[in-house]
Amino acid sequence: MRQVFITRHGAPEVLEVREATDPEPGEGHVRIRVCAAGVNFADILARLGLYPDAPKPPVVIGYEVAGYIDAVGPGVAHRHEGSRVMALTRFGGYADRVVVPAAFTFPVPARLTEAEAAAVPVNYLTAVLALYRLANISAGETVLIHGAAGGVGVAATQLARLRRAIIIGTASANKHEALRTFGVDHAIDYRDADVAAEVRRFTNDRGVDVVLDPLGGKSFQTSYDLLAPASGERRNWWRVGRVVMQLPSFKPLSLMNRNRGVLGLNLGHLWDQRRRLSAAMDMLLQEFDSERLRPVVARTFPLERAADAHRFMQERANIGKVVLTMS
């Protein structure tokens, strides 16, 4: 099989395709012949050496794939060879064969292509858990989505629209027309506009009910202040330290007095919450089957061009998901 390794921390050129023996599924696992693999910002952070959960190089990264089961391990009754599935992989996804727990495989809706299916697990599970479980958004509430043109941002926009929320999204100006087609009511150019001032103008100075902020750093403080009452290619440690210093601190009494809440979500740390993830995915699959949700794939790259895929994503050129294909 072919795999993309992070050989060392650094620029996209450190990604290298290597050959390896096909893995065999053990108890409760299946092997997938991968057709497409999702690219996530966590992969870029891992390549740069800034993702604490990633193993040290050399390592194969990748959190999600779509393809066909071609081998089934002992103890698996609900999955069979030939089944078309998408799966959470938690590393190892940049490969044309992966072995995963059968419980983390999900049937692919017939209307989705392999590339679209690979765009679902991480982005849509992250968005639905954040907006529906943690924030519990409802009709008429105003949601601010930072990075609304990214994979998580597009998924969050679609899900917020299903709840009939009012959506404000940030993105560069050339992406605003696309955002509006996805359901964003008010698009803000984060590069040239004063995001806080624009949000307050659009909400008549009230602020927003929910903020989804996958960007981090200094934007956290702006995001918190806007709540209404109830990158270069290489590491830059100075920049990392500055971002950490800009993170706001939250005091419980202040949160109570202002009727605000701050919630964090790391999908990778829910690996043992299989029942919760399966329930969320079952709901998503119903929405995909009814065509109320549809993944947006910005661009696909062959596995051998994983470095180009990383570069494309770091340049923020994407509207939607970046996906690697095996053909």
Domain with CATH 3.40.50.720 in the chain: 123-257
Which CATH number is 123-257 given?
A: 3.40.50.720
CA distance 103 to 87: 9
| Neighbour order of strands in the sheet with 186-189 | 186-189, 166-171, 142-145, 210-212
The partner residues of 100 in beta bridges, in order of sequence, read: 30
Residue 216 is predicted with a pLDDT of 61
Residue 200 is predicted with a pLDDT of 94
Q: Compute the CA torsion angle 304, 309, 311, 317 (nearest 10 deg).
A: 150
CA distance 143 to 147: 13
* CATH topology classification for 2-120+295-325: Quinone Oxidoreductase; Chain A, domain 1 (3.90.180)
Averaged over successive runs of 10 residues, the pLDDT of the chain (327 residues) comes to: 97 97 97 98 94 93 97 96 96 97 96 97 93 90 94 96 97 96 96 93 92 71 71 44 44 46 54 79 95 97 98 95 95
* Beta-carbon count within 10 A of 312 CB: 18
Residue 211 is predicted with a pLDDT of 86
CA distance 122 to 127: 9
CA distance 82 to 30: 11
Residue 231 is predicted with a pLDDT of 41
What's the Cα-to-Cα distance from 315 to each of 14, 44, 107, rounded to whole Å?
A: 17, 12, 33
Residue 214 is predicted with a pLDDT of 74
The pTM (predicted TM-score) of the whole model is: 0.86
Domain with CATH 3.90.180.10 in the chain: 2-120+295-325
N-term to C-term CA, the chain: 13
Collect all residues with Cβ–Cβ distance below 8 Å to 6 and sequence separation of at least 6: 14, 15, 46, 47, 54, 57, 58, 59, 60, 61
Q: What angle do CA 2, 7, 324 make, to 5 degrees?
A: 45
Alpha carbon 273 to its chain's center: 18
